Amino acid sequence: MVQHPGSVFVVSAPSGAGKSTLTQRLVASLPDLVFSVSFTTRKPRPGEVDGREYFFVDDTTFDAMVREDAFVEWVQVYANRYGTGRAWLEEMLASGRDVLLDIETTGAANLHRVIPDACMIFVLPPTAASLEERLRTRGKDSDEQIRIRLQHARHELTFYPDYDYLVINDDIERAYRQFEGIILATRARRERMAPIAQKLLEGFA
């Protein structure tokens, strides 16, 4: 079990739902919120930088990290594996900072078992048709890849009951405000603010 003064926020979404745009803006805007960079065995895409989008490692390194229990969670997606590094996550949380993790539904469920009080957020596209249009507009995938992504999106959406909050990204500004509000409200929960309130109370003695 991971003990932590900071809060853990897990966000999942089908590919193309706009999750990356939202998470990048949140991390840039909110103090003491850091983005968790996962390890992966997949090859970097054009423009990706090791340590920024992912820590890119080979299968041998990933296997060694699994044996050493170096992941809080890890999962295989298609032909590649992805994992959240334990040491870095525990260091960030121990410092009191909040950590935002962008992981798919299976990895999110695995992490939730380790950190039961993690705040689980699912970003939804407005419609299936709008998701397909977004995938086609960005021009990264073939027709076959888009078909596979849409099938996977339908599968991922069946897990929405496992999440605490559902954010529909039909308007980026509205979705951002909802996302930001979830984080700010979680920071104000009694469980997190109790030590500050108790110290204030003792000051009246």
Q: Looking at residue 177, what is its pLDDT?
A: 97
Residue 119: inside a domain: yes
Residue 185: inside a domain: yes
Mean pLDDT throughout 14-34? 93
Residue labelled with tokens 């996302």: 179
Residue 55: inside a domain: no
pLDDT at 3 over 70: no
Task: Give the CATH number, domain containing residue 190.
Answer: 3.40.50.300
**Token digits for 6?**
């900071």
Q: How many domains does the chain have?
A: 1
Mean predicted lDDT score pLDDT of the chain: 91
Residue labelled with tokens 């490692």: 57
Residue 89: inside a domain: no
DSSP 16-83: TSSHHHHHHHHHHHSTTEEEPPPEESSPPPTT--BTTTBEE--HHHHHHHHHTT-EEEEEEETTEEEE
pTM of the entire structure? 0.87
Q: Is residue 23 within 8 Å of 113, Cβ to Cβ?
A: no
Residue 21: inside a domain: yes
**Cα torsion angle, 76, 74, 55, 154, sign:** positive
Residue 72: inside a domain: no
- H or E stretch including 91? helix 86-94
Residue 163 lies in domain? 8-36+98-202
Residue 53: inside a domain: no
Residue type, 71: F
Residue 140: inside a domain: yes
Q: Looking at residue 142, what is its pLDDT?
A: 86
pLDDT at 186 over 80: yes
**Token digits for 4?**
């932590």
Give percent above pLDDT 90 in the chain. 70
pLDDT at 1 over 50: no
